[in-house]
A and B are shown apart, each in its own frame.
Chain A
Amino acid sequence: EADIYQTPRYLVIGTGKKITLECSQTMGHDKMYWYQQDPGMELHLIHYSYGVNSTEKGDLSSESTVSRIRTEHFPLTLESARPSHTSQYLCASAPPNTEAFFGQGTRLTVV
């Protein structure tokens, strides 16, 4: 059983608010990822990290930012939420040379 946690599971927030989506894993994985997924659609990689102090932007441009100060923690921040940010955000982590483990996701609605 993978131990990767995302909070909150659901979030409804007003336009212009700053939000942070939390992602934590207890498996000691160096690699962590954030994907954005609209309902019924494919996953788009928006950020990834290969270890502490390493962050890279993914294939899909995003206004969000991430940080990796600790191995187990990979939070995603939106400084000013907008309705176009409404989506599901999935966090994942992976050890070397094998599959990624996913959290349950955060479903964000910006009104």
Chain B
Amino acid sequence: AQSVTQLGSHVSVSEGALVLLRCNYSSSVPPYLFWYVQYPNQGLQLLLKYTSAATLVKGINGFEAEFKKSETSFHLTKPSAHMSDAAEYFCAVSGAGSARQLTFGSGTQLTVLP
């Protein structure tokens, strides 16, 4: 069994400020973890992924996330927010192996204030 909890359904930051979107997971097997971004009326685009290699993962658009097994967390960060970062962000987990499902968190809507 696996699940994802995203703390904060809405996060607002000022342009240029640090972005921190929180994600905690539970998984009965070693997890693969993902962050996706969704712009209005679009599908989901992969930002970054953790698949048991380096624990600090860098993604597109300046985002990065750190896998912390002891905290069962995979928080998404970006040092300086840009207006174009405003979107919905989803954390997802799946288990390693051939029969994997992808389970999503409830999403965090990021607003960037000028």
Cβ-defined partner of B42 (8 Å) among A42, A43, A101, A105:
A105
A103 to B42, CA, bound (A): 8
Count: A-B pairs, CB below 8 Å: 57
- Are B99 and A90 in contact, CB atoms less than 8 angstroms apart? no
- Are A98 and B51 in contact, CB atoms less than 8 angstroms apart? yes
- Are A42 and B43 in contact, CB atoms less than 8 angstroms apart? no
How many interface residues does B have (CB within 8 Å)? 25
Chain A residues 23 to 62 lying within 8 A of chain B, measured CB to CB, are: 31, 33, 35, 40-43, 45, 48, 50, 58-59
**Which residues on the A side are within 8 Å of B107 (C-beta)?**
40-43
**Which residues on the B side are within 8 Å of A13 (C-beta)?**
none
**Which residues on the B side are within 8 Å of A99 (C-beta)?**
34, 46, 49
A50 to B101, CA, bound (A): 10
**Which residues on the B side are within 8 Å of A102 (C-beta)?**
36, 43-45
Chain B 80-101: CB-based contact to A (< 8 A → 1; otherwise 0): 0000000010100000101111
Chain B residue with the shortest CB-CB distance to A42 = B106
22 contacts between A and B (CB under 8 A): A31-B100, A33-B102, A40-B88, A40-B107, A41-B107, A42-B105, A43-B44, A43-B90, A45-B101, A45-B103, A48-B101, A50-B99, A90-B44, A94-B100, A97-B96, A98-B32, A98-B51, A100-B102, A102-B45, A104-B42, A104-B43, A105-B41
Additional A-B contact list (16), CB under 8 Å, known A31-B100, A42-B105, A48-B101: A33-B101, A41-B107, A42-B106, A45-B103, A50-B99, A90-B43, A90-B44, A92-B102, A94-B100, A97-B96, A98-B32, A98-B49, A100-B102, A101-B46, A102-B44, A102-B45
